[in-house]
Amino acid sequence: MRTIHCIALAATLLAAACAAPPPEPFGPVPSSSQLAWQRMETNMFCHFGPNTFSGAEWGSGDEAEDMFNPASIDCGQWVDVAAQAGFGGIIVTAKHHDGFCLWPSGQSAHTVAQSRWTEGKGDVLRLLRDAIDAHNGSQAAGGRKVRMGVYISPWDRNHPAYGTDAYNQVFANTLREVHSQYGPMFEQWFDGACGEGPGGKRQVYDWPLFMQTVADLNPQCVVFSDIGPGCRWVGNEEGRAGTTCWSTLRTDGATPSENKPAPDELVTGHRDGDKWVPAEVDVSLRPGWFWHPGEEPKTVEQLVDIYLTSVGRNGLLLLNVPPDTNGRICAADSARLVAWRAEIDRIFARDLAGGATARGRHLRGRRYSAQNALDTAYHTYWAAADSVASVNIDFGSEATFDLVVLQEYIPLGQRVCRVELHCQEADGHWMPALPDDAPLCTTVGYKRIVSLPSAVTARRVRLDFVGLAAPVINRIAFYNSAQ
């Protein structure tokens, strides 16, 4: 009788554990579009326009339209390069600060339609949209798609209305044209730059109108600006998020052009931020944003470093790959990108914790056990029982690693504010893996990749987490970059 009672009790407890609800979210959390965006990890930026032909970085806006004349433009090639290099999306400069529109806009007299390129009948946005659709249509079910995004500069050095109230409606109409004719866009990029200087034109932007225009036409679009709302500038153009990097930000009283946090705040975000505004790390493959003859792309080593300091620090990498005067990505650049992606794939090919055992206190049963952090499924996670929590990992035999990858399950918020790593010695003692008891990291977020100063060998390791709330970890992995 007693045995039957025990079995019944065990069954009831098991059923309760299986049905245990997930932890409550903590603080701001990403929207479904922001989560999908973050999971793209790396996207390609294409700066292309009159500057490609003039050698300028900031065109004056007075350039003759005929200057824009790509000899053999091939947006299909841009998409092929993006797909081969593992980028999830392409963001093209539809209008840079010089005001030139890469599509025949009805809002401006400074567009492809006024140029001699294909006798004024050309349309770069159409070519790119069609190339992306063709690529995606040719993918087998489950194949990786490429998405389209657009940069449209609010600062306009050509438009006669710039600096007057009328410009706000012109700009909103411009957004309307692009988003209704060439969408859906996964991202809208609002550049924060304005080089007018003290004596220059001053435009008071109608940000609510611009944001509403995009949201009405394309509610899924993630809107970039210095302060979001979809994602934020990381505060530099060097490919570097902060070693501490929160996806949360305080934006009260700020607009994308006024009263915004300083660059050194954007690089780290705000631990107590009340909005989810993750960092986007924009950096160019070449010295300039636009293609210029004689410039060389960054080396594979530099690009791997940039990957580690962007994606590996809770940012999304937006790597600029500027098409040349032919309207193609030059061979040196595409070869460099493919070699970079091959190197990333090599480094992260074998997770040393793939067959390991993880033990840690968890919330409400096996559904939330630490073992979940070792699998590759995105939606399974270790929900720790307390805000101070440890996980012991046994590799089964000695493992040598120099890279540790951690991911928080961000649909439930960003929580972790400190992680330490210890290795077990032969005599059972736990030794800090880093000199001077330094923490492994001070934030995790969507993804944190920590590169150790030198390789570490151990059979058992322990990760100690401190969170603003109990950590929710969906990935712990270890790699050896030398293998």
Q: Which residues bind ligand FUL (CB under 6 A)?
A: 57, 191, 193, 282, 289
In this complex, which beta carbon is closest to ligand FUL, that of residue 203 or of residue 369? 203
Cα–Cα dist 224/245, whole Å: 17
In this complex, which beta carbon is closest to ligand FUL, that of residue 187 or of residue 282? 282
Q: How far is the CB of 141 from ligand FUL (least distance, A)?
A: 35
In this complex, which beta carbon is closest to ligand FUL, that of residue 152 or of residue 469? 152
Q: How far is the CB of 204 from ligand FUL (least distance, A)?
A: 19
Q: How far is the CB of 193 from ligand FUL (least distance, A)?
A: 3
In this complex, which beta carbon is closest to ligand FUL, that of residue 178 or of residue 450? 178
Q: How far is the CB of 58 from ligand FUL (least distance, A)?
A: 6
Q: How far is the CB of 282 from ligand FUL (least distance, A)?
A: 5
- CA separation (Å) from 366 to 185, 361, 372? 40, 10, 9
- CA separation (Å) from 471 to 300, 361, 422, 446? 35, 11, 18, 13
In this complex, which beta carbon is closest to ligand FUL, that of residue 190 or of residue 382? 190
Please answer whether residues 100 and 156 qualify as being in contact, where contact means their C-beta atoms are separated by less than 8 angstroms: no
Q: How far is the CB of 41 from ligand FUL (least distance, A)?
A: 19
**Beta strand spans in 144-197 (E):** 147-152, 187-189
In this complex, which beta carbon is closest to ligand FUL, that of residue 282 or of residue 402? 282
DSSP 56-71: -SS--S-S-GGG---S
Q: How far is the CB of 322 from ligand FUL (least distance, A)?
A: 10
Residue nearest to ligand FUL (CB): 193
* Number of neighbours of residue 86 by Cβ within 10 angstroms: 17
* Number of neighbours of residue 380 by Cβ within 10 angstroms: 17
DSSP 329-393: --HHHHHHHHHHHHHHHHHTS--TTTT-EEEE-BSSSGGG-GGGGGS--TT--EEBSSSEEEEEE
Token output for 23: 């932890």
In this complex, which beta carbon is closest to ligand FUL, that of residue 65 or of residue 191? 191
Q: How far is the CB of 91 from ligand FUL (least distance, A)?
A: 10
Q: How far is the CB of 256 from ligand FUL (least distance, A)?
A: 12
Cα–Cα dist 42/120, whole Å: 34
Cα–Cα dist 324/277, whole Å: 33
Q: How far is the CB of 227 from ligand FUL (least distance, A)?
A: 14
| Among candidate residues 165, 157, 222, the one with its CA nearest the CA of residue 189 | 222
* Residues paired with residue 44 on neighbouring β-strands, in sequence order: 90, 319
| Among candidate residues 329, 332, 335, 306, the one with its CA nearest the CA of residue 46 | 329
In this complex, which beta carbon is closest to ligand FUL, that of residue 64 or of residue 193? 193
Cα–Cα dist 344/241, whole Å: 19
Q: How far is the CB of 236 from ligand FUL (least distance, A)?
A: 11
Q: For residue 15, with 0-12 CB atoms within 10 Å meaning exposed, 13-18 middle and 19 or more buried, which class applies? A: exposed
* Residues paired with residue 148 on neighbouring β-strands, in sequence order: 90
In this complex, which beta carbon is closest to ligand FUL, that of residue 51 or of residue 372? 51
In this complex, which beta carbon is closest to ligand FUL, that of residue 134 or of residue 193? 193
Please answer whether residues 317 and 354 qualify as being in contact, where contact means their C-beta atoms are separated by less than 8 angstroms: no
**Beta strand spans in 143-253 (E):** 147-152, 187-189, 222-225, 231-233, 248-249
End-to-end CA distance of the chain: 58
In this complex, which beta carbon is closest to ligand FUL, that of residue 329 or of residue 347? 329
In this complex, which beta carbon is closest to ligand FUL, that of residue 319 or of residue 393? 319
Please answer whether residues 463 and 421 qualify as being in contact, where contact means their C-beta atoms are separated by less than 8 angstroms: yes
Q: How far is the CB of 444 from ligand FUL (least distance, A)?
A: 27
